[in-house]
Amino acid sequence: MAALIDYPQRYFELWNYTPTFNQLLFLANPSMSPSSGDTCPLPRIDVLFWSVAYLQLPADFMGLTMDLALPEQVDSVCQLLGGSLPSRYHVYRLRGKEYEGYVVAGGYAVDESARPFDEPSKWDLPKGPGFPFVKEELSAFLKEGLIPLDLPASYWTKLGQRYGTWIRNISLYAEHPDEALKNFLEGVKDGYTHEAPSSDSHP
């Protein structure tokens, strides 16, 4: 059976973990991998796991070959977790030079690109020059004067497009992708039309 992922000559690093979605991101930096001798530059490789429930891997490693774990390997992982796994989870076996480990997750995705190493993954929250970072309260930016209050309509259009792209990307592996956008838009509308309760208030 062919491997799900097979990059035996690339060096990977544990790059990011997003608790909100239990997302785990490994990244292969072209400058950290041996040259193949070809004139074409090596691509950047992002490997994302979502709904991560268990991880047994080094923080960085040489080579990444991944397949589904064998039944006896799944049983061993389940023993470590103290019980059986829900059907939505998969046990992936990862191996390379001088290591072998497991990731228990809902799924994975791979992105090969020419994106510069210092740019965020395509699955990251939208960020960029002229756009506010995602914070608990957008009002903090306005109060501190970090962005002007009289932003043009084109600003909000571009910001909406960035969030729309982000929602589309995470919806690719959501159980109900149409509801992801619907719920997001409802949340935006609710947050815009209702004043949020004070963080120091008590019910």
pLDDT band at 198 (very low <50, low <70, confident <90, very high): very low
pLDDT in tens, 49-81: 988 888 888 888 999 999 999 999 999 999 988
> What is the rounded distance in angstroms from the CA atom of residue 33 to the CA atom of residue 61?
11
Report if pTM > 0.85. no
What is the average pLDDT across 122-141?
Answer: 46
Give the largest CA-CA distance in the chain.
Answer: 65
Res 129: pLDDT: 38
What is the average pLDDT across 95-108?
Answer: 93
CB atoms within 10 A of CB 34: 10
pLDDT in tens, 159-171: 777 777 777 776 6
Res 186: pLDDT: 87
Res 181: pLDDT: 80
- Please choose, from the candidates 15, 101, 93, 107, the residue with its C-alpha nearest in 3D space to the C-alpha of residue 52: 107
Strands in 99-105's sheet, in edge-to-edge order, are 54-56, 99-105, 90-96, 60-68, 5-18, 23-28, 44-50, 107-113
Mean pLDDT estimate for the chain: 76
